[in-house]
A and B are shown apart, each in its own frame.
Chain A
Amino acid sequence: MTATVFTNARIVDPSRGLDETGAVIVAKGKIEAAGAAAHNQGAPEGAEVIDCAGKLIVPGLIDSRVFVGEPGAEHRETIASASHAAAAGGVTSVIMMPDTHPVIDDPALVEFVLRTARETAIVNIHPAAAVTKGLAGQEMTEFGLLRQSGAVAFTDGRNTIANPLVVRRALTYARDFGAVVALETQDADLTCGGVMNEGLYASWLGLPGIAAEAEIIPLERDLRLARLTGGAYHAAKLSTAVSAEAVARAKADSAKVTAGVSINHLALNEIDVGEYRTFFRLSPPLRAEEDRLAMVEALRSGAIDIVSSSHDPQDVDTKRLPFADAATGAIGLETLLAVALRLHHNGDVPLMRLIDALSTAPARLFGLPGGTLAPGAPADLSLVDLDYPWVVREADIRSRSKNTCFEGARLQGKVLQTMVAGRTVFRA
Chain B
Amino acid sequence: MSPATTFPLFPHRHLLGIQGLSAADIELLLDRADAAVAISRQPEKKTANLRGRTQINLFYEASTRTQSSFELAGKRLGADVMNMSVGSSSVKKGETLIDTAMTLNAMRPDILVIRHASAGAAALLAQKVGCSVVNAGDGAHEHPTQALLDALTIRRARGALGKLTVAICGDVLHSRVARSNIVLLNALGARVRVVGPSTLMPAGIERMGVQPFTSMTEGLKDADVVMMLRLQRERMAGAFVPSIREYFRYYGLDAEKLKAAKEDALVMHPGPMNRGVEIASEIADGPQSVIEEQVEMGVAVRMAVMEALLDPRRNAGGEA
Cβ-defined contact, B116 with A206, below 8 A: no
Contacts of A200 in B (CB 8 A): 203-204, 207-208
Cβ-defined contact, B204 with A205, below 8 A: no
Contacts A200-B204, A203-B203, A207-B140 known; A321 to B96 CB distance under 8 Å? yes
Give A275-325 interface residues, CB cut-off 8 Å to B.
275-276, 317, 320-325
Cβ-defined contact, B203 with A322, below 8 A: no
| A90 CB-CB contact with B under 8 Å | no
Cβ-defined contact, A322 with B207, below 8 A: no
Q: How many of A's residues come within 8 Å of B, CB to CB?
A: 21
The chain A residues found within 8 Å of chain B, CB to CB, are 198-200, 202-209, 211, 275-276, 317, 320-325
Complex CA–CA separation, A322 to B97 (angstroms)? 8
Cβ-defined contact, B202 with A275, below 8 A: no
- Given A209-B202, A322-B124, 17 more A-B residue pairs with CB atoms under 8 Å apart are A200-B203, A200-B208, A202-B202, A203-B208, A205-B119, A205-B120, A206-B140, A206-B141, A207-B120, A207-B139, A207-B140, A275-B120, A320-B96, A320-B98, A321-B124, A322-B120, A325-B118
Cβ-defined contact, A203 with B204, below 8 A: yes
Cβ-defined contact, A323 with B118, below 8 A: yes
Contacts of A320 in B (CB 8 A): 96, 98
Contacts A317-B96, A322-B97 known; A276 to B124 CB distance under 8 Å? yes
Complex CA–CA separation, A202 to B207 (angstroms)? 13
Complex CA–CA separation, A211 to B204 (angstroms)? 12
Contacts of B202 in A (CB 8 A): 202-203, 209
A-B contact pairs, 15 of them (CB 8 A): A200-B203, A202-B202, A203-B202, A205-B141, A206-B176, A207-B140, A209-B202, A276-B120, A321-B118, A322-B97, A322-B120, A322-B138, A323-B119, A324-B118, A325-B118
CB distance from B52 to the nearest CB of A (A): 32
Contacts of B139 in A (CB 8 A): 206-207, 322, 324
Complex CA–CA separation, A321 to B96 (angstroms)? 7
Chain B interface size, under 10 / 10 to 19 / 20 to 34 / 35 or more: 20 to 34
Contacts of B116 in A (CB 8 A): 322
CB distance from B80 to the nearest CB of A (A): 28
Contacts of A202 in B (CB 8 A): 202-203
Of all chain B residues, the one with the shortest Cβ separation from A322 is B118
CB distance from B229 to the nearest CB of A (A): 14
Cβ-defined contact, A321 with B204, below 8 A: no
| B311 CB-CB contact with A under 8 Å | no
CB distance from B99 to the nearest CB of A (A): 9
Cβ-defined contact, A203 with B205, below 8 A: yes
Contacts A203-B208, A207-B140 known; A324 to B96 CB distance under 8 Å? no
Of all chain B residues, the one with the shortest Cβ separation from A273 is B120
Complex CA–CA separation, A323 to B97 (angstroms)? 12
Greatest chain A CB density within 10 A among B19, B124, B142, B205 is at B124
Contacts of B96 in A (CB 8 A): 317, 320-321
Cβ-defined contact, A323 with B120, below 8 A: yes
Of all chain B residues, the one with the shortest Cβ separation from A207 is B119
Cβ-defined contact, B119 with A275, below 8 A: no
| B121 CB-CB contact with A under 8 Å | yes
CB distance from A248 to the nearest CB of B (A): 27
Q: 8 shortest A-B CB distances, which residue pairs?
A: A276-B120, A206-B141, A322-B118, A200-B204, A206-B140, A203-B202, A206-B119, A322-B121
Greatest chain A CB density within 10 A among B116, B119, B176, B205 is at B119
Cβ-defined contact, B204 with A199, below 8 A: yes
- Mark contacts of B205-221 with chain A using CB atoms, 8 A cut-off: 1 yes-contact digit, 0 otherwise: 10110000000000000
Cβ-defined contact, A204 with B120, below 8 A: no
| B123 CB-CB contact with A under 8 Å | yes
Complex CA–CA separation, A416 to B179 (angstroms)? 50
Complex CA–CA separation, A323 to B118 (angstroms)? 7
Contacts of A325 in B (CB 8 A): 118
Of all chain A residues, the one with the shortest Cβ separation from B116 is A322
CB distance from A285 to the nearest CB of B (A): 13
Give B170-193 interface residues, CB cut-off 8 Å to A.
176, 179
Contacts of B176 in A (CB 8 A): 206
Contacts of B19 in A (CB 8 A): 204
CB distance from B168 to the nearest CB of A (A): 14
